[in-house]
Amino acid sequence: MNAITTLPEAPRRSPWPLVALAAIVIAGVIIAWFWWSSSNPTTTVNPPLIGDPFPPRTLSYSLSVRMKKNASGAPVEMPGEIIFSPGDELRFKLISPQDGFLYVIGEAPQPDPKTNLPLYNLLFPQGAAASAERKANQFFYLPNETGAGFFVDKEQGAEKIWLVWSSNTIAELEQLRRWYNDQDKGAINDRADTERVRDYLRGNLAAKPVAEKDAKQMTLKGGLADILIYPIELAHY
């Protein structure tokens, strides 16, 4: 029977040196991270505050009306859009808290029977020399503050008075000044110009401004970008 030889047991190594080494490595990593963070601070960039590039346009208007049946009486101021009679005299009064450029275009109740296109008439600005620019907080009267106003004719239907209030001049409307001459007197007698005006007005009417009415005037707010377009309807029968 062979004897079993028992080898002497190897001495056990203590785990503490490895633990200490790991702790040193971790501490080194932490120290290195803090050093890098302090030398490369992270800057938080907040997005810039962007204001509204196009503050809502604001325009107020009222109508001074002298009825034909009371021609000798004083005119009555009202916010508009009532039923008028032939011979009634009208005058517009407008004001805005903003500077801007004003264009006013009349549209007849019925289209042209030959072309079926709208019949437009440039009411303001009147002529090449007149400026469309209006200053803030100053009343503007159309056709004028004193003298004869606009008279309602015998044509039946709802006439539109288009108000265009912009922060800048409008090229499509500036070119209409040529129609304010001794012969045409603002009537736009060209198919291309008529179609151009129609497309411009209807295309921008999608963002119709909010209309707020009080006892004497109508206040319009909003529009599309920096342009406010609003049709005043004058019904006469």
How confident is the model over 39-90, as pLDDT tens digits?
A: 555 544 444 444 556 789 999 999 999 988 887 788 888 887 778 888 999 9
3-state secondary structure the chain: CCCCCCCCCCCCCCCHHHHHHHHHHHHHHHHHHHHHHHHCCCCCCCCCCCCCCCCCEEEEEEEEEECHHHCCCCCEEECCCCEECCCCEEEEEEECCCCEEEEEEEECCCCCCCCCCCCEEEEECCCCCCCCEECCCCCEEECCCCCCCEECCCCCEEEEEEEEEECCCCHHHHHHHHHCCCCCCCECCCHHHHHHHHHHHHHHHHHCCEEEECCCCEEEEECECCEEEEEEEEEEC
Give the chain's mean pLDDT. Answer: 82
pLDDT average, residue stretch 156-163: 93
111 has pLDDT over 60:
yes
The pLDDT score that the predictor gives to residue 186 is 95
pLDDT average, residue stretch 99-107: 98
pLDDT average, residue stretch 219-228: 91
109 has pLDDT over 70:
yes
The pLDDT score that the predictor gives to residue 40 is 54
The pLDDT score that the predictor gives to residue 9 is 47
pTM: 0.76
